[in-house]
Every structure is written in C-alpha cells, then in structure tokens.
Structure 1
Amino acid sequence: MLKKQTVWLLTMLSLVVVLSVYYVTAPKNMNDSVAFMNDQTKTNSGKDKAKGTDVAVQETEAKDEKVTSSIASDDVFTALRLQIEDQRSRLRDQLNAVVASTSATAEQKSEAMDKIQQLEALAEKEATLETLIKSKGGYEDVLVRADGDTVRVTVKAKKSSKQAANEIIQLVKSELNDMQDIAVEFQPTK
C-alpha cells in the first residue's frame, strides 16, 4: 500500500512540474487572448441585457455564394467595439507571427513584443477611461478610441456641454499623458 501511495505522489509531483514548465515557456499572449475574448463576450452580453436592446443579425446569400451580414440595432457602440477588437486582434496575430518566426531577428522579435505590450496597455487604458467617464459623468455609454497620438471619445448623453467636454478631455489627458489631439463627440440618447 505504501508503494502505491509513493508512486501516486511522485506521478502527481511530476505532472505539476511538467505543467509548470509548460506554463512558464508557453507564449504569454496565447492565454490572455482566450481569456479576454471570453471576458469580452460576457461583458457585451451583460450590457445588452441591462439595456434591453436586441441586436439582430441578418444574413443573406448573394449570387456569388458570399454571406453578408448587417447589424440592426440603434446601439452602434457595440459594433464599433467589435470592429476595433477585430482590427487589434489581426494586428496582434501578425505580431505574434513575427515573434514565433524563426527567420526574424532578435531585434524584430523584441520590437514585435513591445508593440504587443503597447496594444494591450492601450486597450486597458481605453477600458479604464470608458469606465471612469461613465461613472463620473453618469453617461449611458462611452466609447474611447486611441490611435497614434489622437483620441476620439464618443459619449451617449441627453445633452452636451462645453464644460462636460472639457472634463472628459482632462480625464483623458490625466490617463494618457502623451496624447495631444483629443476630440469629444456627444451622441443624443433616444
């Protein structure tokens, strides 16, 4: 009986060691993107339920067998978020391909990793800003899009004011120090 327990214990310890080595050597972004995608899905479905809006997707087949879809909803923010996430996902995939490439130099791999980290940091700051602006201003929805040195903030609000726009600009400047061109757009709620 003692030998069986010893064998079992050694087997479990070796399994833990193997999994630890795999976890340490596995690409970091592979695990993050899967978790982020699931988190994004849960977040979006929760927002749709809370607002009571239905997003209907209509698919039609064209003559040349291509499937086209159109989103029928008054909430454009969700579609824009998905579009931004799709663009960043494609860029992240390209950068991950450079990192995994055997023909890329160490400098190219390092630059690609830096760009991946910048993308993740930017997405995190955008989400933080959206939450901060929503909570401070009491707005229905906020969309922050940062690209290069420009930031576009779209706010769904009942009324727009210069003072509210100025407060939003100050929040963006405090969170994203290096951004110079900040535009705030108010969309009326229905």
Structure 2
Amino acid sequence: MNTKRQTVWLVSMLSLMVVLSAYYLFTQDVDSPEVLTDSSKTEQAAQNATEASTKGDALIVNEVELPTDGEILSEEDQKTLALIEEQGLAAGGVFSELLAKRERKNIEEGNRIMAVIAETKSNIEEPVAAIGELEMLEEKNAKLTGIESELLTRYEQVAIDEQSDKFSVVVSSEKLEKKEAADIIKLVMSTMDVGADQVSVRYIP
C-alpha cells in the first residue's frame, strides 16, 4: 500500500513538473510565489533518500493533490507509473544490500582475525591481541543489531552502514521529523560511545 501511494505521488509530481515547465515557457511572470523555491527539497524528493540533521526546521517534502481511486490514468502516466514502481522495488533493496554489505565486511574481518589466532608460529602476543579484537568486533555487531531491533519497533525497515567509525542510519519512513532524527542520533551516540559528528540519519519513503 505504501509503495502504491508513493508511486502515485511520484506520478503526480512528474505531471506537476510538466505543467510548471509549460507555464514558464509561455509566461513572463517570474514572481510566482512558493514554486520550487527550495532547491534542496527538490533534490531530496528526486533522490528519495533525504539526510536529516538535528538543526533547522523539520524536513517536509512538498505535497501535491493525489488523483482519486476512480480517476483513469493516461497511457503515458501508466507507463511512467510502471517504471517508477520498478525503480521503487529496486530502492526497496537498499536495506537488504546495506545489511548484506555489513555482514560480508564482518565475515572478512572475522576471518582475518581468526587467521592471526590460528597462526601459532607468530608471536604469542599477536594471537592474544587478536582475541581481544575479535571480542570487540562481536560486541560492536551486537550493539548495532540491538539499535536496529529497537528502531524496527518504530520503522518498517532499518539498516546501519558503518564506514571508518562513522555510522549512517537509514530508515523507511514517509517523512522524518527533526526530533525523530535527534532521537536516533542520541541512541547511536549512547550505544556506540561516539560523537554526533560520527552519526548521520537518512530516510527513504
């Protein structure tokens, strides 16, 4: 249902953009109020992956009137809708891809550590240090899984991507208010013992 509503919304947005383009071609009026004045919001709507921060106003994507259930779409709109639905299904794989990526990274790191531990010919200090490193890796993974489990009580899909001790939290939501983003950042900060500059939040409608 959410995917259908999203795709219909996107079709409406595309239709609106066509109308606006025609309008600007045939009029000299450049003072029309509140028509795509915020380029950042336009980019957010196009990318379907908006980054939220704890500063500024709540993030709100401009809304347009949706067609009623009884309204018949044109052939062009139907083709566009089918394309957007196909792209939407691909976007839905973002979460599984992020989780799979993290899992592969953990397996590779775990294998590397186990190889050091198994190398009995090396200095005894190296296997001992490797054991400690393995414990830290397992603890970090448990914490990330715990954060995702907690956020899954609020959002349909959640994935955390880690790169160089920085954590990007991606949630599935139609919109994300400033307070919601702040709560997620605080949760990651307290759980992972990191600073605010190491945490970012994105949402995918």
Q: Same fold (TM over 0.5)?
A: yes
Q: Alignment partner for residue 127 of structure 1, among 132, 136, 145?
A: 145
Task: Give ranges in structure 1 of 5+ residues lacking alignment.
Answer: 1-70
Distance 1:96 1:143 in 2: 27
Where do residues 49-68 of structure 1 align in structure 2 (5 Å cutoff)?
A: none
What's the secondary structure of 1:119's corresponding residue?
A: helix
Where do residues 78-157 of structure 1 align in structure 2 (5 Å cutoff)?
A: 78-135=96-153, 138-157=154-173
Distance 1:173 1:72 in 2: 31
Aligned to 2:4: none
The answer on whether the counterparts of 2:168 and 2:200 sit within 8 Å (CA) in structure 1 is: yes
Aligned to 1:186: 203
Distance 2:194 2:90 in 1: 37
Instruction: Call closer, same or farther: CA 1:160–1:72 in 2, change over 3 Å.
Output: closer
- Residues paired across the two proteins, number: 116
What's the secondary structure of 2:194's corresponding residue?
A: coil
What's the secondary structure of 1:152's corresponding residue?
A: strand
The answer on whether the counterparts of 2:170 and 2:203 sit within 8 Å (CA) in structure 1 is: yes
Aligned to 1:19: none
Distance 1:148 1:78 in 2: 21
Distance 1:171 1:73 in 2: 26
1:72 is displaced (CA, Å) by: 6.1
- Overall identity of the aligned pairs, in %: 27
Aligned to 1:165: 181
1:105 is displaced (CA, Å) by: 1.1
1:145 is displaced (CA, Å) by: 2.7
The answer on whether the counterparts of 2:95 and 2:159 sit within 8 Å (CA) in structure 1 is: yes
Instruction: Call closer, same or farther: CA 1:91–1:185 in 2, change over 3 Å.
Output: same
What is the RMSD of the two structures over their aligned residues, measured on CA atoms? Answer: 2.0
Task: Give ranges in structure 2 of 5+ residues lacking alignment.
Answer: 1-88
In the TM superposition, structure 1's runs of 4+ consecutive aligned residues that sit over 6 Å from their partners are none
Structure (1 or 2) with the greater strand fraction: 1
2:119 partner amino acid:
S
Instruction: Call closer, same or farther: CA 1:73–1:155 in 2, change over 3 Å.
Output: closer
Where do residues 10-25 of structure 1 align in structure 2 (5 Å cutoff)?
A: none
What's the secondary structure of 2:92's corresponding residue?
A: coil
Higher relative contact order (CA 8 A, sep 6+): 2
Distance 2:176 2:188 in 1: 17
1:157 is displaced (CA, Å) by: 0.6
